[in-house]
Structure 1
């Protein structure tokens, strides 16, 4: 998955780290333009990807 930077117009940023379990995925992002870092937690059931 990709995400958009919350601090600048940069889009489609790939995560620099990922952690998964049966129903959750967490991604860590760092914007290559402004250096902002953020994380997301997504419920894989919402994407039809849960184990």
Structure 2
């Protein structure tokens, strides 16, 4: 799953790390354009990906 940078116009940034726990996934991102880092926490059920 990609994300858009919250600091610059860069789109489709690939995660540099991911951790799945039950119905949740956490991704860590680093923008290749500006270098900002951020993380997301998503409920996989909302994306139809829960096991």
**TM-score, normalised by the number of residues in structure 1:** 0.96
Contiguous gaps of at least 5 residues in structure 1? none
Contiguous gaps of at least 5 residues in structure 2? none
In the TM superposition, structure 1's runs of 4+ consecutive aligned residues that sit over 3 Å from their partners are none
Secondary structure, counterpart of 2:45 in structure 1: helix
CA positional deviation for 1:49: 1.0
RMSD value, Cα: 0.5
- How many equivalent residue pairs? 51
CA positional deviation for 1:43: 0.1
> What is the match of residue 15 of structure 2?
15
